[in-house]
Every structure is written in C-alpha cells, then in structure tokens.
Amino acid sequence: MADLAQPRVIIRFREAPEDEGFRDPARYLEERDPTSFRRISSTIGDFRLSPVFSDPVRERLPELQKRATAMDPTYRPEPLTTFYYVDAPQSDDLETVRKVFSASTAVRSAEIEIPGPDPLVNASDDPRAALQTYLDAAPGGIDARYAWGFAGGDGAGQTVVDIEQGWTLNHEDLATHGITQLNGTIVNGSRPHGTAVLGEICALDNTVGCVGFAPNVATVFVASRNPSLADSIVDVVSSLAFGDVMLLETQDGVPGMSPTAYGPSEINEAVWESVRLATALGIIVVAAGGNGTGNGGTPAVNLDTVTNATGQFVHFRGHPDFRDSGAIIVAAATSAAPHTRLAYSTFGQRIDCYAWGENVQTCSSDAAGATNLYTGGFSGTSSASPMIAGAALCVQGIHQAETGQRLSPRQMRAILSDPAVNTRPATTEATAMGVMPNLRGIVDNDLDLVPDVYIRDNVGDTGAPHTGAISASPDIILLKFAVGNPQATFGEGSGTENVGTLGDEAETGHDHFIYVRVRNRGTAASNVKAEVFWSPPSTLVTPDLWTPVGSATIPNVPSLDQLTCADAIVWPAAQIPAPGHYCFVGLVGTAGDPAPAPGDFMDFANFTSFIRNNNNVTWRNFNVVNRDPSDPEVQFALPWLMPGAPKERLRFALDARLRLPPEAELLLELPLQFLRDFDAQLELVEVDDSRARATARLPSRGRLRFGPALMGAGARHQMRFLLRLNSKDPDAVFSIDLRQLLDGKEEVGRLAWHFDPRADKRRKRLLA
C-alpha cells in the first residue's frame, strides 16, 4: 500500500491574519480571542499554524479569483488565505484539537483532513483481458470507438492533468506523450495506481499494450496531492485553459464515520474552495467519489447524509444547504450491464456519473517504476473516474473541432450526466449514482445540436455580454387576449421582431396571456423552457420580489438566430393583484444550455454578474403608456419600489431622467426615510408625519440624482409618481427613466415609462 499522509486539523479563520496586519497566525488568534487562545494552549499545549496554500499560490490567488469572478457569474470569491493546518506535537487527539479550535470566535470552522489511500479496491497485475470492452458501445461501455470516428474524438488538441500521488511517466504505452509533472512529490507505492489511470485516459495507439480514451491528447500533466491537495489544485490552474480537464484521483476520510470511510476530497472545505475556483475559471474537474471502507464492504458513503464542519448538508443536491463546487463526481459500478453500484462506492444526489469499478484493463507499474506492466483488474472509483475524464476529453475535442469553441464545466457536466442520452443504472439499483456517458448518444443528440439560447435585454442585444439597456426586453409580451398563431405574430418574419412597444397594461377580471420569444446563437435546441415571473414596478427587480406566473416549452428553436415564440403562458385573472404596469423576469434554458435557478440570484454579487453576463435571463421593466391627446389633464398614478439587496447592506444611488413637456405637473410621493437617508433636497408640498411620508414637486425635464446611500438588507422604499402631462401635442412621446446604481457607479436596475399617444394604434396595427 502507498504511504499515506497523516490526518491533520485544518482551521478556517473568519478573516485572513495578514489582512489584519498579522504575520504570525497564532499571534492573530491570541489578539482576536485571548480566552480561546489560553484554552487551546492549556488543552493541547504548544501549537503551530501553517498556511494550507503555499506562498507562490497565495500570490496568484487575487488574480485567479478576479478572472474567475469575470468568467463565472455564480462564483463568489472567498479569502482562501484563511485556511491553516494545525500542528500540535503534544496532542494526538485530533478530535479534541478540532473542538477546541472550533470554539474560538475567530475561527469560522475546524475540520479533520483524513487523506485516503488511492481510491481503488484491487490493483493486482492480473492477466490482461483480450479487449477493453469499456470502450465498446452502450449499455456495456462508453463507446469511445464511435467518438474516434469524429474529428477531435481522440482527444486531439486537448489538455488533461491528473492529480494524485505517483506514476511511471516513461511507461512504454505513455512515454511518447512527454508527460510533465507540475508539482509535489511522488509516492513510489502509488506508481501502479497513477500509471493505470493514465493508461485509461491516454495510452497510445501504438500496437503496444492498450489504448486510452484520448490517445492523441495534446498535453498531459500530472501533479501531486503532497503536501497539500488544495494547494496543488490552485497551483496547476495557472497551467490550464478554459475547457481543459482536471482529474482528482484522490479520496479523503469522512469525519465521524467508524471505521473510516472515504468520500470525494471536496468534503474538506479548502479542497472544495479550490475546486470551485478551478471550475469558475472554466476548468472541467472530474473527481473520484471515494470507496467507503475500500475493502469491498460497508460502510459506503451516502453524500446526502454528510455534513460539513458547521453541520450543513452541503453535498446533498436539492437540500437548502447544498453548495455546488462544479465538479463531476463519479461512482463505481459493475462492469456488466445492466450496471449496479459496487457496494463500497460513494452514492447520493451529488453523484453525476458512474463507470466501471472492476475488471478494467490498462497500464500498470510497480514501486520501482517498471515500464512494461499491465493489469486487467484495475478497479474502484479509481478506475471509474478516468473513464469520465476520458469521455470529457472526447466530447470536448469533437465540440471544439466542430465549432471552434469549448464547453464550460457546467455544460460538460450537463452533457455527461444527461439521463436522456446516457446509460442509466439497472432498474433494480435503489441508490443515486448518476449515469454512465454514452458517447454515441452524446455525439448524435447533443454535439450535433449544441444550443446557445438567449432572451434579449433590448432590441439590439445579440446574446453576448453588453453594456446596453438591461430591462427593456422586447421578448416578454403581455396581452389581454390570445393570438391565434404566436410564431406568425411575433416570430421571425412577423415584422415585430425588433419592436419593443408590444404589450398591454394588466387589467383585473380576466386572464392575460404572456408570450416569450427566444433566439439561438448555436445549433438547433429542443424543449426550450421559458419561465416568467412578475414583480411590482421596481428599479431593482431582485428575486425576493419575483412571483411565478408560469412556463411554456418550445419544442424546437432553430439555429442561426431565428426568433422563435412560445405558446402563451396564461396569467390567470385570480392571480393578477391589481390593474396597471408590472415588471417581468424571463428565464430560458434547455438541457445543453441550462438557465440559472432563481436561487442563484439571491447573492447580490451573482445578481449583478447575471445582469450583464448571462443571456438566459432578462427583465422587462419598460412600460409603454397610451396617452390620449384629447384629454391632456388626465392624471397618471405610477407606483414603484426602490429596493435594497435581499441579504446585504449596500450603497445605492438613484438616477432619474425626466423628459416631459414644460407644462407638465409631476409629484413624487416618497417615505421620509428616503429623504433622510439620501439627503434629498426637494420642494415638499406636503409632509404626513403620521404616515412618515412626503409629497415633493419635481421638475418636468432634466436629471435628478439621489445618493449614494446605504440601504439595509431587504429594504424597500415605496414611491409613487403623480403625473399630468398637460400637452396637446398629438405626436410627442414623453418619458420617465429611472436607474438604480450600485455605489453610484454600476447600473443594476432600470425602470421606465414612455407616454405614447399612438401606442395602442401602433400595437393594433402590428398585431392585425
């Protein structure tokens, strides 16, 4: 058995000591929480804290996290320099060490890292099987042989890194790749394991030995988990590019299980944060799920029941505590179809894929580095996870050859774990273990149809990140009546493609009909779901204001940006709260290009990133008001909200652009709290202390700016305009445009009313 690193305690400070001016983390702990420091010292004796992330990695972290934030709207950077190993020579009771540190107010969490053995069950040098049948067609295999028939299907042009403990890089079936070790040390006892893994991935097609999934892969790296897996992951990221593949051939002990059972290494927070950074940077991470006790028996690890250091079910997909690293987690199954989970393999909702965990023929070696050995008995999640990494290289190669672009980690995982095209486990399998990729099914059904569906933020939106209007979507259309042929009325060739003034105000007493239009920058997409939410008119339409209306499915959205309209989403009369204007939010997505979930927006950093960078979501906060020139003194009552962030105290400014006739009368009803917080100097015409509200007179033209001012989490300022245009000009269009700015700089929301004397006539003519 390979030499194992010893278990050790990792603590996570609430703040990074160096950010607080401390070079010595122990001194920082003593200053921040002297009572706990004395308790720790008296309980475990002298101790030393050393950073989990090495100095070279720590220097690169700010730039890596900046890039990750720009590339992945859902990534929220955490200070990784808060992780420290605890070395307590006088105490060998790690649970006591963990508990005494976790009680400190300066410590966010404390956990025990239990490095596991290589995640295989039986690494014998059994005679090789005549064929590598895991390369054959489904349901038995993954069908790499079919993928090889397509350009890029042999891994050409791709890069992979294997992170574990040992390899024989000059093996006769690997040497020509010129494999580079990026960091760390080799454990000689692990050479057979790492060599077998590389054999599955990229053994050469050279008439010697066996053939890997990606025999023509362009670049192969290896990196060691020693001395720190989390540090190694971040270290190698600098050598990788968007769409490259990282394989974690590691497992770690699950705290609290006796005897020790092993699960995926991301059960440790420092590893999870490192993996999340990698996937945010576009690296496709495949990770072994772990082998339980590793002896073919129980206990296996049910990730649905595993909690982190603070008791949260962070590995249970679907649970409110769930945190997604973005990795593809792999279970081990029988080699024979229909496949069932091997008894020791990790399982649960977090598992994305499974593959063979037994009888795998591949390269091998020994502790001395023999270069001509092979095995037919490689097994465990060790043998399963390189199959998934190999499948990812095949898929990425074909996609890049066909489109010139690369799939993101999220897209790759969606493809490899899609139960519609991949091999499900046996119907008798009672545990969650994902699916096994079927490369024929993927190539025929997904890679031939790689969608990029989007819904426009404004009529000039092309689906790419932009700096234009964010709340004037022409693709969410509210009508008081249903149209007979939505595609002919609103789709490509209808004449309404780039009209942003379609739609009605809501009325009470009858159903309304919402039509959603989408475009597709990729190839044809099937079963595109369009989901709509309503919100009261608001300068910032955060998810706590969203109320679901319903959804519609578009069976097919053609390629080449052909505007396609869904059937009506009915907004029932009973659900319409009052007549007037509403804001709408639209989410569109399909299996190969999934939409974000509403929960993704609750974090404000994610929300602001989604506004600009995610083309699967849009807002319609643009209201066209029909005005009758024959009745110029009619009063428009326009209620609206100015909210803060749902969960954070942030500074916002309000920018108002008024384009009304000189003779217009404009009043603003607003809370007194707004006047105080934003230091707003306005001409007040009424103050109602009992209701804590005021009414102010506003100019008819020009720009008003309020703030920035700090708004509490969940704050909502209730506002209302009262407007008389007093204009008899039969052709003039007037407007009120509001923008909410984060810190007074970045636009995060917009609300507009345009008063158009011909709005109804134009709409009726277009829809006739």
Lowest mean pLDDT among 232-236, 467-471, 568-572, 693-697: 467-471
Residue-level pLDDT at 119: 73
Residue-wise pLDDT tens digits, 518-556: 999 877 889 999 999 999 999 999 888 999 999 999 999
Same domain, 602 and 492: yes
In a domain, 547, yes or no: yes
In a domain, 588, yes or no: yes
Residue-wise pLDDT tens digits, 244-282: 999 999 999 888 777 788 999 999 999 999 999 999 999
Same domain, 198 and 341: yes
DSSP state of 429: -
Same domain, 311 and 251: yes
Same domain, 477 and 613: yes
In a domain, 125, yes or no: no
Residue-level pLDDT at 746: 87
Class of residue 244 by CB neighbours under 10 A (exposed 0-12, middle 13-18, buried 19+): buried
- What pLDDT band is residue 125 in, cutting at 50, 70 and 90? very low
Of 460, 461, 441, the closest CA to residue 394 belongs to 441
Helix H or strand E encompassing 230? helix 229-237
Same domain, 539 and 413: no
Residue-level pLDDT at 4: 58
Between the alpha carbon of residue 351 and those of residues 262, 317, 320, 324, 673, the distances in Å are 14, 9, 17, 11, 50
Mean predicted lDDT score pLDDT of the chain: 89
Helix H or strand E encompassing 709? strand 701-711
**Full DSSP string of 110-169:** EEEE-BPPPS-S----PPPPSS-GGGS-TTTS--HHHHTTSTTTT-BT-EEEEEES---T
Residue-level pLDDT at 766: 60
In a domain, 128, yes or no: no
Which residue type, as a one-letter code, is found at position 259?
P
- What pLDDT band is residue 121 in, cutting at 50, 70 and 90? low
- CA gap 25, 287 in Å, rounded: 32
Same domain, 256 and 375: yes
Domain of 284: which CATH number?
A: 3.40.50.200
- What pLDDT band is residue 179 in, cutting at 50, 70 and 90? very high
Q: Which residue has the tokens 């040497």?
A: 175
Same domain, 646 and 673: yes
> Strands across the sheet with 650-659, in order?
622-626, 746-756, 734-742, 650-659, 701-711
The C-alpha angle 287, 292, 293, rounded to 5 degrees, equals 135
Same domain, 270 and 248: yes
Same domain, 434 and 460: no
Q: What is the mean pLDDT of residues 381-403?
A: 94
> b/e map of 320-351 (b: 16 or more CB within 10 Å)?
eebbbbbbbbbbbbbbeeebbbbebbbbbbbb
- What pLDDT band is residue 681 in, cutting at 50, 70 and 90? confident
Residue-wise pLDDT tens digits, 726-768: 988 888 889 999 999 999 888 889 999 888 887 666 666 666 6
- What pLDDT band is residue 122 in, cutting at 50, 70 and 90? very low
Domain ends where: 78, 113, 148?
113
Residue-level pLDDT at 767: 61
User: What is the domain extent for residue 77?
Assistant: 8-113
Same domain, 283 and 193: yes
The count of other CB atoms within 10 Å of the CB of residue 37 is 18
Q: What is the mean pLDDT of residues 634-663?
A: 93
Three-state DSSP state, 576 = coil
Give the residue, 165 or 607, on which the prediction is more confident: 165
Residue 3 has pLDDT above 70, yes or no: no
Domain of 665: which CATH number?
A: 2.60.40
Same domain, 427 and 521: no
Domain ends where: 447, 479, 505?
447
- What pLDDT band is residue 449 in, cutting at 50, 70 and 90? very low
Same domain, 715 and 587: no
Q: What is the mean pLDDT of residues 176-201?
A: 94
Residue-wise pLDDT tens digits, 609-639: 777 777 889 989 877 777 777 788 889 999 9
Residue-level pLDDT at 540: 92
In a domain, 318, yes or no: yes
> Strands across the sheet with 617-620, in order?
547-557, 525-535, 583-589, 617-620
In a domain, 123, yes or no: no
- What pLDDT band is residue 305 in, cutting at 50, 70 and 90? very high
In a domain, 122, yes or no: no
What total number of domains does the chain contain?
4
Residue-wise pLDDT tens digits, 64-96: 999 998 888 788 899 999 999 999 998 889 999
In a domain, 519, yes or no: yes
